Chain A
Amino acid sequence: GAVVSQHPSWVICKSGTSVKIECRSLDFQATTMFWYRQFPKQSLMLMATSNEGSKATYEQGVEKDKFLINHASLTLSTLTVTSAHPEDSSFYICSAREGLDGYTFGSGTRLTVV
């Protein structure tokens, strides 16, 4: 089946620094990838939709200048959390769509900002 690789699995960074999270589709081409954020005991909240070769579409309330998304190829999307602060600490998950009904999730990245 389809596999999505997400790295790193966890990261601790200092407040004010930037962190990049990678999401790769290993055995299929993903023209569309999605980035979610999940706070403890809450559901997945869609942050943005990443389309290969074009600008990402951000959900309402998500700062595009803070959460930079790049989808330069059909198998790689990156999310960069810029100038991270403790309130950005969360579980970030990517998902790649294959066809109309296939959504495959990465294993998630636990970000802790200290």
Chain B
Amino acid sequence: GQNIDQPTEMTATEGAIVQINCTYQTSGFNGLFWYQQHAGEAPTFLSYNVLDGLEEKGRFSSFLSRSKGYSYLLLKELQMKDSASYLCAGADYKLSFGAGTTVTVRA
């Protein structure tokens, strides 16, 4: 099974940077996903890491350390529309989600 931990809430100012940390414990590992979810909507894929290191995609980057069971999602140049819940999910033969981190971007 999987045990996924991430902070419950984070608040940041428009234009700033926020880093959401995620730790995981898995019986098997087939990658670490990050999703964005707005209230009442399905999750939207942001990133996937299966090897150690940083993956950069525009304003969003994700990092993985398999030896430490650790990942983070970095959101740069925050915009108001980035206010959402960010879900860390570990994959073995299925996806298991953390509780999600609610990010609030303030003007």
Contacts and interface: CB of A to CB of B under 8 A. Distances in A.
B106 interface: no
Contacts of B100: 42-43
Interface string B19-42: 000000000001101000000111
B84 interface: no
A91 to B, nearest CB: 7
Given A43-B100, A100-B30, A105 B43 contact: yes
A46 B41 CA distance: 17
A107 to B, nearest CB: 5
A103 B95 contact: yes
Contact of B42 (A42, A45, A46, A105): A105
Given A101-B31, A103-B33, A43 B99 contact: yes
Interface in A29-75: 34, 36, 42-46, 49
Report, as a range, how many residues of chain B touch the other chain. 20 to 34
Contact of A44 (B30, B41, B91, B97): B97
Contacts, number: 46
A101 B91 CA distance: 8
A110 B42 contact: no
Q: How would you classify the secondary structure of chain A's contact residues: helix, strand, loop or mixed? A: strand
A87 B52 CA distance: 42
Contacts of A101: 30-31, 48, 50, 91
Given A101-B30, A101-B50, A108-B41, A46 B94 contact: yes
A106 B43 CA distance: 9
Contacts of A45: 97
B46 to A, nearest CB: 12
